[in-house]
Amino acid sequence: MSCAVKKIEVKDLRLSYAHREVLHGVSFDIVPNEIFAVIGPAQSGKTSLLRCLNRTIDFCANAFVSGTVRVDGEDVRELRNVYELRRKVGMVAPLPVGLPLSIYDNVAFAPRCAGISARSELDGLVEKCLRQAALWDEVKDRLDSLGTKLSGGQQQRLTIARALSHAPEVLCLDEFSIAIDPVTTMRIEDVLKELRSQMTIVLVTNLTQQARRLADRTLFLYNGDVIEIGSNDVIFSGHPANRKTYEYVNGIFG
């Protein structure tokens, strides 16, 4: 993009697991308060790309990364405090993974780790994050119940509330709707539309219609290569620049 203000800049990003390269020189920019979607078939490198943004790829011992990823102009590979990076760039996994704690403590866990101990402050943060995740009204009378006892859709929203408790500037979601029903999916999509005024959102999805509904721009990733990046008006118009993009978003393959 030509916009001077960039929240995330990725340039010539390459990622290999042992001797198998899965990202082949990927480059793109994301601007503040944008919903940016990454689509593509399974095994195209979408999740691996997402994990490079906040260095959770570091947990893979055989991963080798080259190129640059910058957040607010800072190269994430050069940051010494990776925990601060992961607070800034939050992540929501495909399947809800609740901590074996109460609903309240699931959300309060990160703020407590950050040094917040006052009950009144924690109460306010927990309510704020649960409201942002469209979960407060359903759980406000049972905050002491185990988070793992919630339904799948509620657990996914709890996962989002927990990610929001870090006060991230970027929220990354990896196939958030893979294990939840369509009604809950639409509720979370409404949440994301509201959150865009407060943060930048990066959405990895196999559902092209979800990307079409939510995103400002979409990147089509295929076998580790960027095939096309563009506004949704172009990508889903029926006249994208690349024929392969047209075939994928119209279900001809993938």
Percent of the chain with pLDDT over 90: 81
Please give the full DSSP string across 20-56, using - where no structure is assigned: EEEEEEEEEEE-TT-EEEEE--TTSSHHHHHHHHTTG
- Nearest C-alpha neighbor of 110 from the set 166, 54, 169: 166
- Give me the DSSP letters along 219-246: EEEETTEEEEEEEHHHHTTT--SSHHHH
Tell me the mean pLDDT in the region 115-121: 93
Domain-wise residue ranges, the chain: 8-97+170-249
In 3D, which of 226, 232, 250, 230 has the Cα closest to residue 24? 226
Which pLDDT score is estimated for 4? 62
Q: Say how many C-beta atoms besides its own lie within 10 A of residue 160's C-beta.
A: 26
Cα 215 to the center of its chain, rounded Å: 12
Which residue bears the tokens 């929203």? 157
Question: pLDDT by residue (tens digit) across 156-185?
Answer: 899 999 999 999 999 999 998 887 889 888
pLDDT over 60 at 1, yes or no: no
Q: H/E element holding 129?
A: helix 119-132
Structure tokens at 25: 């020189």
Sign of dihedral through CA atoms 112, 117, 123, 127?
negative
Band the pLDDT of 254: cuts 50, 70, 90. confident
Report domain 8-97+170-249's class: alpha beta
Cα gap 133→192, rounded to integer Å: 9
Asked if 65 and 52 count as a contact pair (C-beta separation under 8 A), the reply is yes
